[in-house]
Amino acid sequence: MTVEQLKSLAQGTLEFGTETIRKTGELCQQFTLAKRDGGLELIVIDGRITNDENAKSALGRMIHARVDAGEIEAVIMVSDTWIAEISPGNNAIKKRLRMTVSEAAAFGLCKKVEAVVCVLESPILQWLAQQPYDREGTKITLRGAPIIQDDTTGKWKHERARFSGFFAEARAQ
């Protein structure tokens, strides 16, 4: 796949995630695996897995093994999560103390905001989008345009997490 094809696939995945959260108020974590043979495989994660550390680790190991075997060309993950609205200074403190968003919010370092997050990793592109939203009862309101960054802009700031660093090129960043 080309960089443009990967960006299009990631953008479509983000749009699916934001539309799902707007319509249903929920979004199960999902992975799209772009296979080297041209096919796509969708893995939808049940909430029991996302709340189980051992199950999440096993899933991460399985995806890593398939990437290492050369079967997978790109991994795209979409999920709803909490992100931090945080100043650069407070973010430095959060990182230094290795705090989660919830911990940093509890200490008053940031505001905890719900967001749809989409991450694409491949040997030729690292891409991240965050679409913050507000929830009032069952109503979901998107907060402006998604915040998108990738490694082609020179402004890549994604922090490694369990479901990242699948490709050697991503781990090197």
User: What amino acid is encoded at 126 in this protein?
Assistant: Q
Is residue 98 in some structural domain?
A: no
Residue 159 lies in a domain: yes
Residue 110 lies in a domain: no
How many Å apart are CA 152 and CA 58, to the nearest integer?
A: 31
Report the domain count for the chain.
Answer: 1
Any domain includes 42: yes
Mean pLDDT of the chain: 86
3-state secondary structure of 164: coil
Picking from 108, 115, 114, the residue whose alpha carbon sits closest to that of residue 90 is 108
Q: Looking at the domain assignment, is residue 124 inside a domain? A: yes
Name the phi and psi angles at 81, rounded to 5: -160, 180
Q: Which residues contact 152 (CB under 8 A, 6 or more apart)?
A: 3, 125
Mean pLDDT of 27-47: 90
Predicted confidence (pLDDT) per residue in 61-110, tens digit: 899 999 999 999 999 999 998 888 888 898 889 889 988 888 999 999 99
**b/e code 132-161 from CB counts within 10 Å (16+ = b):** bbeeeeeebeeeeebebbbbeeeeeebeee
Residue 144 has φ and ψ, to the nearest 5°, of: 70, -160
Write the pLDDT tens digit of every residue in 18-33: 999 999 999 989 999 9
Length of the chain, please?
173
Higher pLDDT, 121 or 151: 121
Provide the token pair at 45.
Answer: 């994660």
Per-residue pLDDT for 163 more than 70? no
Q: Is residue 9 domain-resident?
A: yes
- Could you tell me which residues are beta bridge partners of residue 43? 31
Domain presence at residue 162: yes
Cβ 93 vs Cβ 124: under 8 Å = no
Residue 145 lies in a domain: yes
Token pair, residue 173, equals 């960043």
Residue 77 belongs to what domain range? 3-82+116-171
Distance of alpha carbon 107 from the chain centroid: 25
Question: pTM, whole model, 2 decimals?
Answer: 0.84
